[in-house]
Amino acid sequence: MNKDEQDKAAATMAYVEMRRESIRRKLADVYLEYYDALCDELDGTYWMPCSGLRSIEEQLALYNKGRTQESLAKGERIVTNARPGFSPHNWGCATDWVENKPYFDWSDMWKKSDWVGLGSAARRVGLVWGGDFKNIVDKPHVELPLKCPWSEIGRIYMASGKIVANEAILQNALYYKL
């Protein structure tokens, strides 16, 4: 690597670390141990979270993609089956990742990322990887392992009208503890 390339690599790595920290700040406590373990697995790589906690409003906007007339008119497709409150992102228990290598074009990143590398790192720390999903395969996605479907957690949200006491609910539902 020449000096320019070294500088670019160092700047990209600093950006990746900043993203890991800023996304981390809004995650649920119950997910943090897994998240940190995944970051340790990905240490020295350019894997970077691009999304973590997602509000109910943001989830509704995603759910509407490919479903409302307005969205269909724009040619959008369905991207999620999770209604607001039914996604682990709404609980701060999921992250989406992309490999931000210094020489990648942003437009190429989704094609070029080594998804198998992310998936195996996620599995090693006991997280659920969206690349293993049967319905909508979601390779950037990593989530907390639960004994029950997230729709059950979502129903608790629907009943209360807001996300409350999620730590206790999620601790009870955890598939296993690290």
Out of 48, 101, 141, 144, the residue judged to bind Zn ion by CB under 5 A = 141
- Smallest distance, Zn ion to C-beta of residue 13, A: 24
CA gap 84, 57 in Å, rounded: 7
- Smallest distance, Zn ion to C-beta of residue 3, A: 38
Find, among 166, 171, 172, 175, the residue nearest to 147 by Cα: 175
Task: Closer to Zn ion by CB, 89 or 101: give it.
Answer: 89
- Smallest distance, Zn ion to C-beta of residue 95, A: 7
Length of the chain: 178
Out of 23, 31, 96, 146, the residue judged to bind Zn ion by CB under 5 A = 96
Query: In this structure, is the dihedral angle defined by the CA atoms of residues 87, 89, 92 and 95, taken in order, positive or negative?
Result: positive
Structure tokens at 90: 């709404």
Contact 108, 100 (CB under 8 A): no
Task: Closer to Zn ion by CB, 10 or 137: give it.
Answer: 137
| Residues of the shown chain interacting with Zn ion in the complex, contacts defined by CB under 5 A | 94, 96, 141
